[in-house]
Amino acid sequence: FRGWARGQTMIRKRMPDKAKARSMIEAAELEINFIRRLEPTRESGATIIRGIYENFRMLGDALLLINGKEAIGQDHHTQMINELFKLKVNTSRPIQVLNNLKAIRNNINYRGYIPTIQDVEDVLSIADACFKPILEAVRKELGD
């Protein structure tokens, strides 16, 4: 990639892959349903938050695949989440709260932050408010 600075993220064109996108959508739905059944505790908090973040990220990646795009580079997760912001969805919380979810997940992964029960409850609230409408919007983009 000429002219591509190290650490930079970019979106490149690729062949749309609806089969892979469909699989990612299904996996995200299965996993979030499992995560929602976990009891929010100090011990399970990081796992719950990471899992919820990862499922939103997979929906963003699926959306990129549907549209024949791929995020590459050091911060490609941000591009995947940002793709979700382009959706026209009605949620009880603004979908920009996914930036807060990404920040807390980064604190857990890279700074050793131990989330509080309140953090976990807030992230579960984000999932309850946003996941299903975003899931349905991504499915609509897929054409299913």
pLDDT band at residue 7 under the 50/70/90 scheme = low
Check residue 1 and give its pLDDT: 45
Query: How many Å apart are CA 24 and CA 115, to the nearest integer?
Result: 27
9 pLDDT above the threshold of 70: no
2 pLDDT above the threshold of 60: no
Answer with the residue of higher pLDDT: 16 or 49. 49
Query: How many Å apart are CA 68 and CA 66, to the nearest integer?
Result: 6
Mean pLDDT to the nearest integer, 94-114? 95
- Residue ranges of alpha helices (H) inside the chain are 18-35, 45-66, 76-84, 98-111, 117-142
Q: Poorest-confidence range of 8-12, 39-43, 127-131, 135-139?
A: 8-12
Read off φ and ψ for residue 75, nearest 5 degrees: -110, 40
Query: How many Å apart are CA 127 and CA 53, to the nearest integer?
Result: 9
Check residue 58 and give its pLDDT: 97
Whole-model pTM over 0.85 = yes
